[in-house]
Amino acid sequence: MWTDPPGAQGCKKCLIHDVDLSVVSSKNPGVSYFPNGLNGPDRNNNAERIRMPAENGEILTIKVNGYNLVYGQQRFALVVAGCFGGVSNTLDTEANKSGKSSQGYSIAKIVGGVIGVVVGLLIIFSGGYWWMKSRESREEAAQRGMANLPNMF
């Protein structure tokens, strides 16, 4: 999926950049799978999805190619979902290669760490925002001549 530059007003084919998604399987390397149920590249959509079965031990190669890039380059997002095994669920670290799984970093640990950091930052920023707003309230009260009121913040 990518954010396409806006097409011309009233256009019939409005896709400006065309990025193609395909998958090749190790079980049948001469066959490419294409998105959205098509037998070839999707030339109309900037959201493309390939659904296909995969067997245990099968290697899938995902290809993203720029077919037509009017502005020279295009950023895109790629999401892969399924039941993965082996090194697909872990980082390729020396600890994982040597079998010391307790020292490896699983996707769950990484996601948990990222969520922890995000929640921590939200707490810090919301506390800072509250402190800043309460300070502004005290200053406004002082300017209105209410400086003798007890400090409630």
Q: Where are the beta strands (DSSP E) in the chain?
A: 18-25, 28-33, 60-68
Residue 35: what pLDDT?
93
- Quickly count helices (H) and strands (E) in the chain: 2, 3
Question: Over the chain, what is the mean pLDDT?
Answer: 74
CA distance 137 to 10: 51
10-residue stretch averages of pLDDT, the chain, 153 residues long: 76 83 90 92 89 84 86 82 60 49 54 71 71 72 61 52
DSSP 45: -
The burial class, CB within 10 Å (0-12 / 13-18 / 19+), for 135 is exposed
- Tell me the domain boundaries of the chain: 18-83
Q: Which is nearest to 46 in space by CA: 22, 9, 76, 87? A: 76
Residue 149: what pLDDT?
53
What is the side-by-side strand order in the sheet with 60-68? 28-33, 18-25, 60-68
